[in-house]
Amino acid sequence: MLSRYLRMLLLMSTVGSALRILVAVACCLGIWQSLNLARADYLFKQDTEQSVRAAIRLVPDDSDYYMRLSEFEPANARNLLTESLRLNHYNAQADVELGLQYETEGDFAQAEKQLLEAYGVNRTYMPRWSLANFYFRRNRMPEFWTWARNASAMPKEDIGSLFVLCWRADPDPEQISRAILNENPDMIRQYIRFLLGKDQANAAAEVAPHLFRAGDSESDRPMLFSIVNRLILSNNASASSTLWQRLIQQNWVVADGAIPYNASFLHEPLGVSFDWTLQEYPGLHSWPGSSGLETEFSGSQPDDTTIAEQTEVLKPGKYAMSYGYQTTDIPATSGIRWKIIDAESEIVLQESPYLSSDVFLYSGFGFSVPPTAHLVRVRLAYRRTLGTPRISGMLNVSSTRIQALP
């Protein structure tokens, strides 16, 4: 009985030792494998042909290693990319690279097949963009526009290169819009920036309404203001006014219909030419507030300056401009006056008497807008009167108003 018990203890001891040995061997193998992987990763990141080859010798089943080596060995690229795909059938980048390799070799049918396989395993932007490129290079325009539209439906952070490709295919903004425009706000913003970069403000204005449906008023309003400003700079009264009115109708801009906009200077200018632009110069500072526009002249301001300005779209005809104001320590020959200016020709259509009054005063003047003046600027300006020193004091404009006359 005792001997049997001893034999059992001996057997258990032997089995335990064997298990411990197996565990130790497994741990050693794991450590060795980890070291191999770490060493291979280190070599791969050295990014030379020799280091990538060495990484493959250590870890021969990593798909990415073969794909990278194919770039160092273009003569053997097809075999290396094929091996990369054998190791990882879902490596869409390898599919794309292999498709490009077939295209380089003139096997266009196999190239197309490989690129479509890339899309089959990965439906992100990259395979779609690659297919659009392929069909563009092959001058297969129907397929190009199909895949350009597919690519635009899933934009990445920057798809400017897609717009460039579309522009090369057809430099017609309307055609591009019809072909690829969708309601993705990121795509719309990128497309508008692209159009503005191509000096296509009119086309950008046509795209802009899509942001009313898909965008955000706070973040997208400055972009739409930039379109309005570009249209005004090109003297496009119709398009700039239309987009401005759309901003108001969509409640992206709060307006009461008065001319000028923000007639009493109650809020900070919006940064669009259809609102006030307040100029700052050394010695001249203006700010809006509850009492209107206040401007301080220190006596060191330039001799000829714009204090405030706003662009208007006014139909040809007769108008009256009225305004309330008061000055402090400003002489009668102040050099401060309102001007109505043809925005395109810079011709002064009319100007007010000098503004100077120690008491609050309502004043005004009449002017006419000719048929040739599509846009006019309402400008409050200072110009030092000949033979007088620069003024020093305060100007407060409480309100302004422009009305059409019968």
Is pLDDT of 34 > 70? no
When pLDDT is averaged across residues 56-64 and rounded to a whole number, the result is 78
When pLDDT is averaged across residues 314-331 and rounded to a whole number, the result is 97
Lowest-pLDDT choice from 27-41, 44-58, 237-251: 27-41
Interatomic CA distance for residues 338 and 309, integer angstroms: 9
Q: Give the pLDDT confidence of 171-195 residue by residue, as tens digits.
A: 999 999 999 999 899 999 999 999 9
Q: How many residues are recorded in the chain?
A: 406
Interatomic CA distance for residues 40 and 51, integer angstroms: 9
Selected residue with higher pLDDT from 237 and 12 = 237
When pLDDT is averaged across residues 246-252 and rounded to a whole number, the result is 95
Across 356-392, where does the E strand assignment appear? Answer: 361-369, 376-383
In this prediction, residue 21 carries a pLDDT of 58
Cβ-contact 167, 198 below 8 angstroms: yes
Q: For residue 24, name the pLDDT band (cuts at 50, 70, 90).
A: low
Cβ-contact 371, 380 below 8 angstroms: no
Task: Look at residues 380, 382, 196 and name the one whose alpha carbon lies nearest to residue 305.
Answer: 382
Q: Give the pLDDT confidence of 267-311 residue by residue, as tens digits.
A: 999 999 999 999 999 999 999 988 999 999 999 999 999 999 999
- 371 SS3 class: coil
Report the Cα–Cα distance between both ends of the chain, in Å, rounded.
130
Kindly list the distances between the CA atom of residue 261 and the CA atoms of 34, 220, 366, in Å, as whole numbers in the listed order: 70, 21, 19
Interatomic CA distance for residues 94 and 64, integer angstroms: 8
Alpha carbon 197 to its chain centroid, in Å, reads: 10
Task: Look at residues 60, 56, 81, 85 and name the one whose alpha carbon lies nearest to residue 71.
Answer: 81
**Claim: this prediction has a pTM higher than 0.85:** no
Question: 329: which 2 tokens?
Answer: 């320590």
In this prediction, residue 396 carries a pLDDT of 98
Residue 241's H or E segment, with its range, is helix 237-249
Interatomic CA distance for residues 32 and 58, integer angstroms: 11
Q: For residue 9, name the pLDDT band (cuts at 50, 70, 90).
A: very low
Task: Look at residues 305, 266, 265, 249 and name the one whose alpha carbon lies nearest to residue 282.
Answer: 305
| Nearest 10 degrees: Cα torsion 380, 386, 392, 397 | -20
Domain residue limits, the chain: 29-122, 277-404
In this prediction, residue 81 carries a pLDDT of 82
Kindly list the distances between the CA atom of residue 9 and the CA atoms of 5, 6, 20, in Å, as whole numbers in the listed order: 6, 5, 16
Q: For residue 68, name the pLDDT band (cuts at 50, 70, 90).
A: confident
Q: What dotted CATH number matches 277-404?
A: 2.60.120.260
When pLDDT is averaged across residues 61-78 and rounded to a whole number, the result is 80
Alpha helices in 47-124 (DSSP H): 49-58, 63-72, 77-87, 92-104, 108-121
Q: For residue 369, name the pLDDT band (cuts at 50, 70, 90).
A: very high
Is pLDDT of 382 > 90? yes
In this prediction, residue 13 carries a pLDDT of 58
What CATH number does domain 29-122 carry, 1.10.260.40, 3.20.20.70, 3.30.70.141, 1.25.40.10?
A: 1.25.40.10
Interatomic CA distance for residues 64 and 93, integer angstroms: 9
Cβ-contact 293, 397 below 8 angstroms: yes
- 333 SS3 class: coil
Selected residue with higher pLDDT from 127 and 77 = 127
Interatomic CA distance for residues 66 and 55, integer angstroms: 10
- 107 SS3 class: coil
When pLDDT is averaged across residues 199-204 and rounded to a whole number, the result is 95
Question: 14: which 2 tokens?
Answer: 């032997």
- The chain-wide mean pLDDT, for the chain, equals 89
- 312 SS3 class: strand
Residue 202's H or E segment, with its range, is helix 201-207
DSSP-assigned states of every residue in 109-136: HHHHHHHHHHHHH--SHHHHHHHHHHHH
